[in-house]
C-alpha cells in the first residue's frame, strides 16, 4: 500500500514527537536541537563535559515554549547510552528521532598518532553511533508493539563529514571513522527498514563558528576560494537537512548520505 503524501502545511511539524540529539550542547548539535524544538518536537540533548552549555540550549528552548532535557552521556560508553535512551523515554514517553552528532575532531599526524588517540576518535565517532542507533532503534520498535502494521515511523540521522569522501592532513583517524559512519548508515538502513525505521546521514562541509577565521585563516581562505556557493556553512544549514530527512517529506529516503557543503566537493580539483 502506498503511503499518502503529507499535507505541506504540516510536513515539517514535529508536535508530539521526541528528538534525541547527541552532542547537542554547542555548534552543529545546538543548532539541530533548537531547530527541532522550533518545529514542535520535545528535545533531549546529550553532553559529556559542557553541562552549562547544554543547559543553556535547553533553557532557550523552554523559554521559547518548548520542552527540553539535558542529559550527561559519553556515547562511547554503552552504559551511558542505555541511560541516555532510558531517561529520554522516562521523561517524554517516546522516541521518534535520533541524531547521532556527538564526536571528536582532533589533529594528529599518522606517524605520530598514539594508539589511544586512534581508539578515542573511533570510539566517539563510530562506536558511539552504533551504540546509540542500536539502543534507540530498540526503543522505537518496542513502542510500536501492538500497532496494526507493527512498524515504527522512526528516523535516525548520523552526522558524517565531507572528509568521509576526501582527505585531510592529520585526520586519518577521523576520515576513517566518518567513512565507517556512512557505510554503517547504509547497513543500518537495510536492517531496520523492515521495522519502518529510516537511517540516513548528513555530511557537512566547513561550518562557521566564533573565532574560526582568526584561528585558521589559511584554511578558511582555501575554502572560500573553492566553494561554489561562496560562504561557510552554518549550524542551521545542517539542522535543516536533518529536519528534512526526519520529516514525512523524506518518507521514501533511507540509506543515503546528504552532502551539505555549499558544493565544495563538486568543485574541480585543479
pLDDT at 1 over 60: no
Give residue 6's pLDDT: 74
pLDDT tens-digit profile of 180-197? 999 999 999 999 999 999
The 10 Å Cβ neighbour count of residue 21 is 33
- Kindly state whether residue 262 falls inside one of the protein's structural domains: no
pLDDT at 144 over 90: no
CA distance 37 to 27: 16
Domain span holding position 125: 12-257
pLDDT at 259 over 90: yes
Give the CATH number for residue 207. Answer: 3.40.50.720
- Kindly state whether residue 2 falls inside one of the protein's structural domains: no
- Kindly state whether residue 64 falls inside one of the protein's structural domains: yes
- Kindly state whether residue 270 falls inside one of the protein's structural domains: no
Give residue 26's pLDDT: 95
- Kindly state whether residue 93 falls inside one of the protein's structural domains: yes
- Kindly state whether residue 42 falls inside one of the protein's structural domains: yes
pLDDT tens-digit profile of 23-37? 999 999 999 999 999
Task: Report CA Rg, the chain.
Answer: 18
Angle at 45 between CA 39 and CA 47, to 5 degrees: 150
**Total tally of structural domains belonging to the chain:** 1
Give residue 4's pLDDT: 72
- Kindly state whether residue 146 falls inside one of the protein's structural domains: yes
Q: Which residues are catalytic?
A: 174
Amino acid at each position: 500500500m502506498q503511503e499518502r503524501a503529507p499535507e505541506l502545511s504540516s510536513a515539517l511539524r514535529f508536535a508530539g514527537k521526541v528528538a534525541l540529539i547527541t552532542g547537542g550542547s554547542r555548534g552543529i548539535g545546538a543548532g539541530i536541537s533548537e531547530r527541532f524544538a522550533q518545529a514542535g518536537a520535545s528535545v533531549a540533548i546529550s553532553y559529556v563535559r559542557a553541562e552549562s552549555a547544554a543547559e543553556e540550549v535547553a533553557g532557550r528552548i523552554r523559554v521559547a515554549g518548548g520542552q527540553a532535557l539535558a542529559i550527561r552521556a559519553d556515547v562511547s560508553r554503552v552504559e551511558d547510552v542505555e541511560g541516555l535512551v532510558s531517561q529520554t523515554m522516562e521523561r517524554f514517553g517516546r522516541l521518534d528521532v535520533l541524531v547521532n552528532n556527538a564526536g571528536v575532531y582532533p589533529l594528529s599526524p599518522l606517524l605520530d598518532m598514539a594508539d589511544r588517540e586512534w581508539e578515542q576518535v573511533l570510539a566517539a565517532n563510530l562506536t558511539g553511533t552504533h551504540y546509540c542507533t542500536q539502543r534507540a532503534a530498540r526503543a522505537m520498535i518496542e513502542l510500536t508493539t501492538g500497532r496494526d502494521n507493527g512498524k515504527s515511523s522512526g528516523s535516525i540521522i548520523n552526522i558524517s563529514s565531507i572528509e568521509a569522501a576526501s582527505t585531510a592532513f592529520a585526520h586519518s583517524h577521523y576520515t576513517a571513522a566518518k567513512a565507517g559512519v556512512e557505510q554503517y548508515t547504509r547497513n543500518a538502513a537495510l536492517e531496520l527498514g523492515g521495522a519502518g525505521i529510516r537511517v540516513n546521514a548528513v555530511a557537512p562541509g566547513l561550518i562557521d563558528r566564533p573565532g574560526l577565521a582568526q584561528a585558521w585563516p589559511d584554511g578558511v581562505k582555501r575554502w572560500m576560494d573553492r566553494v561554489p556557493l561562496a560562504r561557510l556553512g552554518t549550524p542551521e544549514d545542517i539542522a535543516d537537512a536533518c529536519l528534512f530527512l526526519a520529516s514525512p517529506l523524506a518518507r521514501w529516503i533511507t540509506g543515503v548520505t546528504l552532502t551539505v557543503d555549499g558544493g565544495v566537493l563538486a568543485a574541480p580539483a585543479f
